[in-house]
A and B are shown apart, each in its own frame.
Chain A
Amino acid sequence: KAGVTQTPRYLIKTRGQQVTLSCSPISGHRSVSWYQQTPGQGLQFLFEYFSETQRNKGNFPGRFSGRQFSNSRSEMNVSTLELGDSALYLCASSLAGRGPTSYGYTFGSGTRLTVV
């Protein structure tokens, strides 16, 4: 079955702009989580969505937001971009119910965001 699909793969944005990233989970997976990955901080949890509801949220400012649609596809949005937002943004899906902490994640390849 198809894996987790993230689009676009690469993005270059200017400081102050906003950006929307998309994630299509594996068919049947209803839990979608987002992570920011940087060399210095590693993987930092952004949020998790399950059945269109945010179930968990990390310690990121309100500029970072997300949503999930009825087909489990998810988007995350970053407004008023800062240079420090440059990172690899990873989406991970998991089976319904116990989610990533029981079944583990299936990750996408990520969206590389560069803010200039």
Chain B
Amino acid sequence: AQSVSQHNHHVILSEAASLELGCNYSYGGTVNLFWYVQYPGQHLQLLLKYFSGDPLVKGIKGFEAEFIKSKFSFNLRKPSVQWSDTAEYFCAVNPNAGNNRKLIWGLGTSLAVNP
């Protein structure tokens, strides 16, 4: 079955530390990839997405993600986190890249940034 794995369930960092959240998926074909973020008390928001082209995509608030097809991965990174980045982060994958309209979601990674 198609699945998305987010390896880190809980991450705690100090401000200015670098962040990398892992996301791996199990599907061999073409995919669209997404990262969503949910700040405390707020709704889910799109952080960034990858469809094709440059495998390094940049999103809002200084986040970026790199698609490595050979590793079936789409890891999220930020060079220097801030307290305001405290949130839940979700990786989502669309197998068949648009022909299938479903998204398959990871269970999320809770990030806490200490000031």
* Chain A residues with a Cβ under 8 A of chain B: 3-4, 41-45, 48, 55-56, 58, 90, 92, 98-102, 104-110
Inter-subunit contact B103/A101 (CB<8 Å): yes
Q: 7 other contacts beyond A42-B105, A42-B106, with CB at 8 A cut-off?
A: A48-B101, A55-B101, A56-B101, A104-B49, A105-B44, A107-B36, A107-B44
Give 8 nearest A-B pairs by CB, closest first.
A101-B94, A107-B44, A43-B105, A42-B107, A104-B46, A107-B43, A109-B43, A56-B101
| Residue total for B at the interface (Cβ-Cβ under 8 A) | 24
Q: Is the CB of A110 within 8 A of B43?
A: yes
Enumerate chain B interface residues (CB-CB to A < 8 A).
Answer: 32, 34, 36, 42-46, 49, 51, 90, 92, 94, 97-98, 100-108
Interface of A is mostly: mixed
Q: Which residue of B lies closest to A92 (CB)?
A: B44
- Inter-subunit contact A102/B44 (CB<8 Å): no
Least Cβ–Cβ distance between A95 and chain B, in angstroms: 12
Contacts of B45 in A (CB 8 A): 107
Give the interface centre of B34, B42, B43, B106 by most chain A CB atoms within 10 Å.
B43
Which residue of chain A is the closest to B4 with respect to CB atoms?
A: A42
Q: Known A43-B90, A107-B44, A110-B43; judge A102-B107 contact (CB<8 A).
A: no
> With A43-B90, A102-B32, A102-B51 given, is the CB distance from A58 to B102 under 8 Å?
yes
23 A-B residue pairs with Cβ-Cβ distance under 8 Å, sorted by A, are A42-B90, A42-B107, A43-B105, A56-B101, A56-B102, A58-B102, A90-B43, A90-B44, A98-B98, A101-B98, A101-B100, A101-B103, A102-B32, A102-B98, A104-B34, A104-B49, A105-B36, A105-B44, A105-B103, A107-B43, A108-B43, A109-B42, A110-B43
